[in-house]
Amino acid sequence: MRAGSPRLLREINDRAAIEALLRNGPLTRSELEGLIGLSKPATAQLLTRLEAGDSVVRNGLRGGGRGPRAQLWSVNGALAHIAAIDLTPETVDIAIADISGAVLTEHKAPMPAKHGVLEAFVSAVGKACGQAGLAPDQLLHVVVGCPGAVNPANGELAYAPHLPGWSGFDMPGRLREQLATSVSVENDVNLVALEEMVAGRATKVRDFVVIWPADLVGAAVVINGVLLRGASGGAGEIDGLMIPDRASADTDTDRSGGTFGELLSNASICKLARAHGLAARNGHGAVRKALAAGPAGREFMVDLAKRIATGVASVVAVLDPELILLSGDIAQAGGTTLNDLVAAELRQLVVPRTPVQLALVTGKPVRSGALHSALAVARETVFGLPAATTAPFRGPVVAGSPR
């Protein structure tokens, strides 16, 4: 063995132990020994070494039976903290977590309609950090998920006219200056795709597309396990895709074409619902009413599925992915009924028989994706663990800017 190999082996074993503790939570020495394949003395030495370096801490005892209780070990969460943020035109939703993944606090605040958005954002992050006993500059990394796409050349947010106040400047760079820490800005649907890869239906899928068929239509494309962002960051920005309206009901739309986003806006979906005798205030409300409305509701669902499938067909024809996942409020409200109708319509439009399924992660998928993305960066920085290939775009680096 060449010189330095024992040290290299220790580093490899240390990383394996950290990964096992992060993946499984608190473990006893014997449990860790079984997971990483070391001997009892080697595992004991490893834990002593990691405890001396503050990488792991003792975390209670595991008891049971007549024998002595065993010491539990866990990753020292206090080593670093991160923030995961879901930014929309209306709100900012923030979670602060430690490097173990434990969420310390959550905070949601309204965003102003036009002016003062940056100040409101920074104030909300400061309040969330304060609730966790931290200052923003004590965060190791922040991931912000938002509609639109960051241009890798200059950090400007594009494809986001619905997010006023955030255009015309290096968004990640400005947030780094304001928060005095490392910040990444990622497309919201890209983060949903990341979460589906971590904890959803795409854990074993290499090529798939997440479609968010709702007001502000979006998509995330994953090829060979890697998010495709495109030359300007706009891969998956299908809101402006021109498609014909294949719905059977007459809603005074131009049958020769409109944008995907226009045909699936809240206003358009509600108008389509009214054409079928259903009244609703928003798109997902219309879908819920349709599911309870019998035959008239079924006809509306078919028309809505036609609109969704027509746009998705262009994506499938070009990419031929293994899987299409439908996510967002409209998809979840429609459930398996809408999902199956979209799949049936899609089979009439394209040759590939791509499966269509509902995204598994619900609740706060954007913020959850941001959390896993921020943790990947923090764990690479602190423990040297390899970051996932879906790690967020961090924007252009300006000399002297905080990292």
Burial bucket for residue 321 (CB in 10 Å: 0-12, 13-18, 19+)? buried
- Other Cβ atoms within 10 Å of 49 Cβ, number: 15
Kind plus residue range of the DSSP H or E element containing 318: helix 295-319
Residue 10 has pLDDT above 50, yes or no: yes
Residue 66 has pLDDT above 90, yes or no: no
Q: Do domains 5-75 and 79-192+365-383 have the same CATH topology?
A: no
Q: What is the pLDDT of residues 238-279, one digit of tens each?
A: 999 999 999 999 888 887 778 999 999 999 999 999 999 999
Kind plus residue range of the DSSP H or E element containing 227: strand 226-228
pTM value is: 0.90
Q: What is the maximum span of the chain, computed from C-alpha positions, in angstroms?
A: 79
Flag the least confident range among 70-79, 104-113, 245-254, 320-329: 245-254
Helices 29-36 and 5-24: angle between axes, nearest 10 degrees: 110
Burial bucket for residue 164 (CB in 10 Å: 0-12, 13-18, 19+)? middle
User: What would the mean pLDDT of 60-85 be, rounded to a whole number?
Assistant: 89
Residue 149 has pLDDT above 80, yes or no: yes
CA distance 195 to 211: 14
Give the CATH architecture of domain 203-358.
2-Layer Sandwich (3.30)
Q: How far apart are the first and last CA of the chain?
A: 38
Residue 399 has pLDDT above 60, yes or no: no
| Burial 193-213, CB ≥16 within 10 A → b, else e | bbbbbbebbbeebebbbbbbb
Confidence band (pLDDT; 50, 70, 90) for 300?
very high
What is the DSSP annotation of 52-70? HTTSEEEEEEE--SSSPPE
Q: Report the CATH fold assignment for 79-192+365-383.
A: Nucleotidyltransferase; domain 5 (3.30.420)
Residue 3 has pLDDT above 50, yes or no: no
Q: What is the pLDDT of residues 42-52, one digit of tens each?
A: 999 999 999 99
For residues 35, 38, 40 and 42, what is the CA-based torsion angle, rounded to 10 degrees?
Answer: -130
* Structural domain boundaries in the chain: 5-75, 79-192+365-383, 203-358
- What's the chain's average pLDDT? 92
For the segment(s) 5-75, the CATH number from 1.10.760.10, 3.40.50.2000, 1.10.10.10, 3.40.50.10210 is 1.10.10.10
pLDDT of 214 reads 82
Confidence band (pLDDT; 50, 70, 90) for 64?
low
Residue 90 has pLDDT above 90, yes or no: yes
